[in-house]
């Protein structure tokens, strides 16, 4: 139904953006606690000393990457929406009468 349709209405695009943002924020709140619990379990797990040094070195970077993915999931649609709004060229077909 919507395969080849382009969004030409700002209200339609705004509603799509609002629904998408709601879904991503809801997904973040649903998944943030389990993901934090998994990272805490990995961090406090008993492993060898060699693995412990790697975990303390790389685990904060992995946690940061997961948060960046959620931030990008929010930022890309907002950026697309702003660029889509400002990409419209004005209609120059109106001619002033003398």
The domains of the chain are located at: 33-86
| Alpha carbon distance 12, 89 (integer Å) | 19
Q: How far apart are CA 71 and CA 63, in angstroms?
A: 13
Output 46 or 21, whichever has higher pLDDT.
Answer: 21
Q: What is the pLDDT of residue 23?
A: 92
Average model confidence (pLDDT) for the chain? 82
Give the pLDDT confidence of 39-69 residue by residue, as tens digits. 888 878 777 777 777 888 888 898 899 889 9
Question: What pLDDT, on the 0 to 100 scale, is given for residue 40?
Answer: 85
Which helix (H) or strand (E) segment holds residue 56: the answer is helix 49-86
Q: Which residues contact 66 (CB under 8 A, 6 or more apart)?
A: 35
Asked if residue 1 has pLDDT above 60, the reply is no
Whole-angstrom distance, CA of residue 74 vs CA of residue 70 = 6
Distance between CA atoms of residues 32 and 27, nearest Å? 8
pTM assigned to the model: 0.66
Q: Please indicate whether residue 25 or residue 48 has the higher confidence score (pLDDT).
A: 25
The yes-or-no verdict on residue 82 having pLDDT over 90 is no
Q: In this structure, what token pair is assigned to residue 6?
A: 């382009």
């Amino acid at each position: 139904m919507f395969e080849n349709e382009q969004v030409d209405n700002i209200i339609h695009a705004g509603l799509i953006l609002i629904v998408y943002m709601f879904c991503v924020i809801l997904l973040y709140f649903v998944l943030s606690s389990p993901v934090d619990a998994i990272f805490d379990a990995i961090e406090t797990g008993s492993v060898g000393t060699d693995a412990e040094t790697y975990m303390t070195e790389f685990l904060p970077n992995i946690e940061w990457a997961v948060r960046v993915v959620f931030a990008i999931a929010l930022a890309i649609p907002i950026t697309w929406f702003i660029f889509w709004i400002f990409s419209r060229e004005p209609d120059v077909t109106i001619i002033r009468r003398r």
